[in-house]
A and B are shown apart, each in its own frame.
Chain A
């Protein structure tokens, strides 16, 4: 039986939920199966975990407003969608962790809570993305679009930077907890990190402006290329750096660490972060 999206409102909503759960799985599984995140779930600072959980709320609301489960126009609807995504993230994380035998009944409640709470952050972002990226367009809506072309949607400058931040955060959460990020920063010499900075910036710029992906940004012929570099790519790199620092700090990777080492870890994490930020601009 093929599920039709153009059914009753309840059916539509159920399908939306399933897509969200699918998204939580697709985007969450790499993290749900990362050893470091299990131990971080109970070992990381509770204050920082709480902060991460709180930061996730406005983040989901803004994300919901842009791409949500249904096209949301009011704040109330965005909050509702964000709540659903967070809920889906929690349920999916708990289910997968139980399935994999990482959560067992003899564990203290504190450990359960910590592990599920930490995983629910990336999973809830995944749930939100799943709805937007997996959801095919309705046949009905397509017809409507043919009849009356929708007005072009204008994204604020800071909205654009925000989207880059989400992309960087998502990839950052994926890789920052792993031992490898720290190990790589120890193995790299400052020359390597100089190269990494330049390559990251070039990738960010290339992803969005040079390679003709779907959703590529176009520049007017009159506008020189460096305009976009200064206005979007460089601020994007700074946003990515801030997100990297935040994620590293959250996982306690910066405690009692020298400044140069902090910068090195940041540059390492900026590499995946830059790719995440650039793809967020294309996808979202």
Chain B
């Protein structure tokens, strides 16, 4: 319990805290120790390898005039990549390859980020390749 005096606006903690206060305090201390231990483990184990990027196409759908290719950009490394450019190339017989690209601000470590590419031609009618083409350190 805390006692607040309205007059001088100061507070005085009561000297006999209830058991609930100690319980909450103890649980909190435990959680913080876990958090610190986690970070310490990361700090010691981490070797900061370069980002390892991977693309998984999750769906192809006609959206209005265009075909939308949905994909997830995964980063399986401990390092975050910034300004990741992803390029899709659609090759169809008898036509110029169609390219479209998108830039992700970040691909966080051990995380996946969703995005989409738009094509005029139907990706099902040709061969589609989607790959990351470059990144920068944040």
Q: Which parts of B28-54 form the interface with A (CB within 8 Å)?
A: 28-29, 31-32, 35-36, 38-40, 42-43, 46, 48
Residues of A near B65 (CB, < 8 A) are: none
Residue of A at shortest CB range from B9? Answer: A215
- Candidates B7, B18, B20; contact of A149 at CB < 8 Å: B7
Cβ of A155 < 8 Å from any Cβ of B? yes
User: How many angstroms from the CA of A217 to the CA of B9 in the assembled complex?
Assistant: 9
Q: In the complex, what's the smallest C-beta–C-beta distance from A56 to chain B, in angstroms?
A: 25
Task: Please report whether the interface of chain A is mostly helix, strand, loop or mixed according to DSSP.
Answer: helix
* Residue interface bits A148-183, CB-to-B below 8 A is 1, else 0: 011011111100110000000000000000010011
Taking a contact as CB atoms under 8 Å apart, the answer to whether B35 and A263 are in contact is yes
Residue of B at shortest CB range from A234? Answer: B28
Residue of B at shortest CB range from A254? Answer: B111
Taking a contact as CB atoms under 8 Å apart, the answer to whether A256 and B13 are in contact is no
Taking a contact as CB atoms under 8 Å apart, the answer to whether B32 and A145 are in contact is no
- Candidates A145, A183, A223; contact of B138 at CB < 8 Å: A183
A-B Cβ contacts below 8 A, count: 145
Q: In the complex, what's the smallest C-beta–C-beta distance from B21 to chain A, in angstroms?
A: 5
> What size tier do the contact residues of chain B reach?
35 or more
Cβ of B109 < 8 Å from any Cβ of A? yes
User: With A230-B22, A230-B26, A260-B109 as given contacts, are A156 and B1 in contact (CB-CB < 8 Å)?
Assistant: yes
Taking a contact as CB atoms under 8 Å apart, the answer to whether A218 and B10 are in contact is yes
Residues of A near B43 (CB, < 8 A) are: 189-191, 194
Residue of B at shortest CB range from A219? Answer: B13
Taking a contact as CB atoms under 8 Å apart, the answer to whether B7 and A190 are in contact is no
Cβ of B88 < 8 Å from any Cβ of A? no
Taking a contact as CB atoms under 8 Å apart, the answer to whether A155 and B11 are in contact is yes
Cβ of B3 < 8 Å from any Cβ of A? yes
> What size tier do the contact residues of chain A reach?
35 or more
Taking a contact as CB atoms under 8 Å apart, the answer to whether B4 and A154 are in contact is yes
User: How many angstroms from the CA of A263 to the CA of B31 in the assembled complex?
Assistant: 12
User: How many angstroms from the CA of A186 to the CA of B114 in the assembled complex?
Assistant: 19
User: With A194-B36, A197-B39, A257-B111 as given contacts, are A217 and B28 in contact (CB-CB < 8 Å)?
Assistant: no
Taking a contact as CB atoms under 8 Å apart, the answer to whether A267 and B39 are in contact is yes
Residues of B near A259 (CB, < 8 A) are: 110
Cβ of B108 < 8 Å from any Cβ of A? yes
Q: In the complex, what's the smallest C-beta–C-beta distance from A278 to chain B, in angstroms?
A: 13
- Candidates A157, A182, A261; contact of B109 at CB < 8 Å: A261
Residues of B near A256 (CB, < 8 A) are: 72, 111-114
Residues of A near B39 (CB, < 8 A) are: 190, 193-194, 197, 263, 267
- Candidates A190, A198, A218; contact of B13 at CB < 8 Å: A218
| 13 more A-B residue pairs beyond the given contacts A153-B5, A260-B42, with a C-beta to C-beta distance below 8 A | A150-B7, A155-B2, A155-B4, A157-B21, A189-B48, A194-B43, A197-B39, A227-B17, A230-B26, A230-B28, A234-B29, A256-B114, A257-B111
- The contact sample of 17 A-B pairs, CB cut-off 8 A, is A150-B7, A155-B1, A155-B4, A157-B1, A157-B17, A161-B24, A186-B138, A217-B2, A220-B12, A231-B24, A232-B25, A234-B29, A234-B32, A237-B28, A241-B35, A256-B112, A267-B39
The 3 closest A-B pairs by CB, nearest first: A258-B110, A190-B43, A230-B25
